[in-house]
Structure 1
Amino acid sequence: MELLFVFLGGAIFGTIARYTLPHRDEHGSVLVPAIGAVVASVVWVALTWLGWAWDGGWIWWVSLGASVIAVVVADLAIGRHRVQTDAALLTKLTGSTATATAH
């Protein structure tokens, strides 16, 4: 049951990151919340395998904290990469920026 709460917590933090960080129009609406949910769940399961108590406070802080870090990094990295690749593709398709503005 706790794994479900951790999954939902990661998805909520991912949703918050999606709507508060820049570049939200550069990726799908479910990508960042899904990353948050998966990271929180994987960290939670790994920590329980390492013997951390599921009813302890540290497992919650570490799992959800890792989720927050992952969604911020992912959102910023995906957004920057998408902007750069879109600009490169536009330049490639138009020949150059001068050609694109001349037409």
Structure 2
Amino acid sequence: MYILLALIAACALGVAVHYLMRGRELRGVALVPAVSTAVAAAGYAIGQWAGLGEDNAWLWLISVGGGIVAGVVVAVAVSTARARSDERLRASLGI
């Protein structure tokens, strides 16, 4: 049941990351929250399998913190790649 708290927190913080990072017009609105939630789910499951209990701060740091870090990395990577691609397309079209 506690996994829901981790996933909801990661999703909400993923939405915040999407709106706080530059270049949000270059990526989909659901991309960063989805990645954050997926990484949080994987981190929580791995932490549980490793024997971490719900009262252990490392479990929450791994799941929610890992989701946020992954969301930031994806936001930067996708925005940068899209900006480069758009610039190449503009150059090839002579705009």
Greater Cα radius of gyration, structure 1 or 2:
1
Q: Which moved more, 1:48-57 or 1:15-24?
A: 48-57
Matched with 1:33 is: 33
Unpaired segments ≥5 residues, structure 1: none
Q: TM-score, normalised by structure 2?
A: 0.92
- Alignment deviations for residues 68-89 of structure 1 (CA, whole Å, 9 cap, x no partner): 1111111011100000011112
2:7–2:64 contact (8 Å) kept in structure 1: no
Question: What RMSD over aligned residues (CA atoms) do the two structures have, in Å?
Answer: 1.1
Offset, 1:54: 2.1
Offset, 1:41: 0.7
**Runs of 4+ with deviation above 4 angstroms:** none
Q: TM-score, normalised by structure 1?
A: 0.86
% identical equivalent positions: 27
* Distance in structure 2 (CA, Å) of the matches to 1:56 and 1:47: 10
Please state if 1:63 is matched with 2:63. yes
Unpaired segments ≥5 residues, structure 2: none
The 5-angstrom pairing of residues 15-34 of structure 1 reads 15-34=15-34
- Alignment deviations for residues 25-82 of structure 1 (CA, whole Å, 9 cap, x no partner): 0011111011111111111001111111122222112211111111111101110000
Offset, 1:4: 1.0
